[in-house]
Amino acid sequence: MKSRTFRLDRFISQNSAFSLSDVRLLIAQKRIFLDGQAASSVQQKVTEFTHVVLDGNCLKDRKPVYIVLNKPKGVVSATKDLKHSTVLDIIQHPQKNELHIAGRLDLNTTGLVLLTNDGAWSRKISLPETKLEKVYEVTLSRPLTSEYVSVFREGIYFGYENITTRPASLEICSEYTARLSLVEGKYHQVKRMFGFFDNEVLALHRVAVGPVSLEGLDEGHSRLLTAKEFSAIGAY
Ligand code: URA
What is the pLDDT at residue 1? Answer: 47
Instruction: Give the residue ranges of the chain where pLDDT is below 70.
Output: 1-3
Q: Which helix (H) or strand (E) holds 208?
A: strand 201-209
Best CATH choice for the domain 6-60 from the list 3.10.290.10, 3.40.50.10950, 3.20.20.70, 3.90.320.10: 3.10.290.10
**Where do the H-state alpha helices sit in 57-181?**
119-126, 146-154
Given ligand 1 and candidates 76, 140, 190, 202, which is best to mutate, with the most ligand atoms within 8 Å of its CB?
Answer: 190
**CA angle (110 as vertex; 104, 114 as ends), nearest 5:** 40
- What is the domain partition of the chain in residue ranges? 6-60, 66-234
User: How many angstroms does the Cα of residue 189 sit away from the middle of ligand 1?
Assistant: 5
What confidence score (pLDDT) does residue 3 get? Answer: 59
Cα of 206 from ligand 1 centre, angstroms: 9
Task: Please give the distance, rounded to the nearest whole angstrom, from the Cα atom of residue 100 to the centre of ligand 1.
Answer: 18
- The reported pLDDT for the residue numbered 2 is 53
Closest residue by Cα to atom 7, ligand 1, is: 105
Pocket probe mutation, ligand 1, options 191, 194, 200, max atoms within 8 Å of Cβ: 191
Q: Is the CB of residue 165 below 6 angstroms from any atom belonging to ligand 1? A: no
- % of the chain surpassing 70 pLDDT: 99
Q: Is 88 helix (H, G, I), strand (E, B) or coil?
A: helix
Whether ligand 1 lies within 6 angstroms of the CB of 137 is answered as no
Contact criterion met (CB below 8 Å) for 179 and 138: yes
| CATH, range 66-234 | 3.30.2350.10
Neighbours of 6 (CB within 10 A): 19
Cα 3 to the center of its chain, rounded Å:
14
Residues in the chain, overall count: 236
Q: Which atom of ligand 1 is nearest to the CA of 185?
A: 8
Whole-number average pLDDT of the chain: 95
Q: Which residues contact 109 (CB under 8 A, 6 or more apart)?
A: 71, 73, 204, 205, 206
Active site residues: 106
Under a CB-based contact definition with an 8 Å cutoff, are residues 45 and 3 in contact? no
CA distances from 59 to 4, 24, 56, 101 (A): 16, 18, 9, 27
Give the residue, out of 75, 77, 104, 106, with the most ligand 1 atoms within 8 A of its beta carbon, to mutate for a pocket test: 106
User: What is the atom index within ligand 1 of the atom nearest the CA of 134?
Assistant: 8
pTM: 0.87
CA of 188 to the centre of ligand 1 (A): 4
109 pocket-lining for ligand 1 (C-beta < 6 Å): yes
Q: What whole-number distance in Å separates Cα of residue 192 and Cα of residue 8?
A: 48
Same fold, 6-60 and 66-234: no
C-alpha distances out from residue 229 to 120, 212, 224, 236, Å:
17, 6, 10, 11
pLDDT score, position 4: 77
Query: Is residue 70 in contact with ligand 1, taking CB distance under 6 Å?
Result: no
Say if ligand 1 is within 6 A of residue 77 CB.
no
Q: What are phi and psi of 12, to 5 degrees?
A: -65, -45
